[in-house]
């Protein structure tokens, strides 16, 4: 059967986005769909049952957005901590398409982060849940999916994390559990790249900037249409400066950047790299939904960590 929009750059690609329910995962899935891909959108939050995030977004909604954007969205309610469920999903993809071209591991577990707590103060169950959600899910997914992906040259694996290797290495990332999780995902992409390289495939670690996810918008009490209102609020002692929110990016930017990477015939040049959404967006000349290209990680180093007054001028 012929595909609609078969002129689009990813119209012949089969993708799996693990953790596609919301945030960066949803943005990536939709961007891949906009480029014409068939996208298996997996996650635990469905119309019939919410995950422990207790949020309204569902995996079915993401699949509908992918299809509406021009691709083919397929919802799969999958717990990526359950090897049997992940194996079943990959077997389904193999059965229905016989191939897998793009794997995006986006599950992060950030809602288990408790800032300012030392390892001996941290609730152990919550700390281990962060490690499992943010790292173990990636390993389980790759274990089952990369064998199928590696059958054909050109496959792409994207490990989504928080902070590049260059940024994270000299810095302590808030808590031991957070630090271990996010630095390990960068290393995972590096290791996968070594194993995929002889098969003509590649793995890249990608970190968004300050993401304007659904959860972050709720924290500030704004919407995607009104988010700039939050930047004008007075600073409260002990809390981040709301003006910093001016360098935030929507999930569409990291999605567009990864879709451009996937469509690049020379994408293997990025193998084993650890990059920001801004670096990819700049290279491929893509922007956020407002036409800007926020560079949050440079802002963090040059403004926030340098102790300068919050001012995003020149950073988006």
Q: What is the pLDDT of residues 194-251, one digit of tens each?
A: 999 999 999 999 999 999 999 889 888 899 999 999 998 888 876 677 888 999 999 9
Q: Helix (H) and strand (E) counts for the chain?
A: 11, 7
Q: Model confidence over 263-277: pLDDT tens digits?
A: 999 999 999 999 999
Contacts of 23 (CB under 8 A, 6+ apart): 106, 108, 211, 213, 214, 215, 251
Region 158-163 average pLDDT: 97
Region 283-306 average pLDDT: 96
pLDDT tier for residue 295 given thresholds of 50, 70 and 90: very high
Which pLDDT belongs to residue 296?
96
| Closest of 312, 191, 262 to residue 35, by C-alpha | 262
Q: Model confidence over 79-125: pLDDT tens digits?
A: 999 999 999 999 999 999 999 999 999 998 888 999 989 999 999 99
| Closest of 91, 106, 192 to residue 144, by C-alpha | 91
Give 160-213 as a DSSP string: E-SS-HHHHTTS--SSHHHHHHHHHHHHHHHHHHHHHGGGT-EEEEEE-SSB--
Q: How far apart are CA 201 and CA 239, in angstroms?
A: 43
Region 18-34 average pLDDT: 97
pLDDT tier for residue 49 given thresholds of 50, 70 and 90: confident
What's the whole-model pTM score? 0.93
Q: Nearest 5°: CA angle at 158, between 163 and 53? A: 70
Tally of CB atoms within 10 A around 279: 19
Give the length of the chain: 316
pLDDT tier for residue 1 given thresholds of 50, 70 and 90: very low
Which pLDDT belongs to residue 2?
41
Domains and CATH numbers, the chain: 14-304 (3.40.50.720)
Distances from the Cα of 161 to the Cα of 43, 139, 187, 206, 257, angstroms: 17, 13, 11, 6, 15
Which pLDDT belongs to residue 4?
52
Residue 204 in tokens? 């890249």
| Closest of 78, 81, 199 to residue 148, by C-alpha | 199
Contacts of 240 (CB under 8 A, 6+ apart): none
Of residues 265 and 53, more confidently modeled: 265
Element of type H or E holding 144:
helix 137-149
């Amino acid at each position: 059967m012929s595909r609609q929009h078969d002129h689009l750059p990813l119209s012949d690609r089969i993708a799996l986005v693990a953790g596609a329910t919301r945030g960066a995962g949803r943005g990536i899935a939709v961007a891949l769909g906009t480029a014409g891909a068939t996208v298996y959108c997996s996650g635990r939050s469905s119309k019939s049952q919410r995950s422990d995030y207790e949020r309204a977004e569902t995996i079915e909604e993401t699949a509908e957005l992918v299809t509406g954007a021009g691709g083919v969205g397929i919802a799969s309610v999958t717990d990526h901590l359950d090897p049997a469920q992940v194996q079943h999903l990959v077997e389904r993809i193999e059965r229905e398409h016989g191939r897998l071209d793009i794997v995006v591991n986006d599950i992060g577990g950030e809602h288990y982060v408790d800032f300012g707590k030392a390892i001996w103060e941290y609730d152990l169950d919550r700390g281990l849940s962060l490690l499992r959600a943010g790292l173990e899910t990636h390993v389980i997914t790759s274990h089952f999916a990369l064998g199928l992906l590696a059958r054909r040259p050109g496959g792409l694996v994207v490990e989504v994390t928080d902070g590049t290797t260059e940024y994270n290495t000299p810095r302590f990332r808030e808590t031991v559990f957070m630090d271990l999780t996010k630095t390990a995902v960068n290393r995972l992409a590096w290791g996968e790249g070594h194993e995929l390289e002889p098969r003509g495939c590649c793995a890249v670690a990608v970190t968004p900037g300050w993401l304007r996810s659904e959860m972050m918008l709720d924290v500030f009490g704004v919407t995607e249409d009104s988010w700039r209102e939050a930047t004008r609020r007075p600073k409260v002692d002990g809390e981040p400066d709301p003006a910093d929110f001016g360098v935030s990016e929507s999930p569409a930017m990291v999605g567009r950047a990864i879709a451009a990477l996937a469509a690049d015939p020379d994408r293997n040049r990025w193998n084993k790299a650890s990059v920001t959404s801004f670096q990819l967006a700049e290279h491929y000349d893509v922007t956020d939904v407002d036409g800007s290209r926020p560079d949050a990680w440079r802002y963090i180093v040059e403004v926030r960590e340098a102790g300068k007054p919050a001012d995003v001028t020149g950073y988006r």
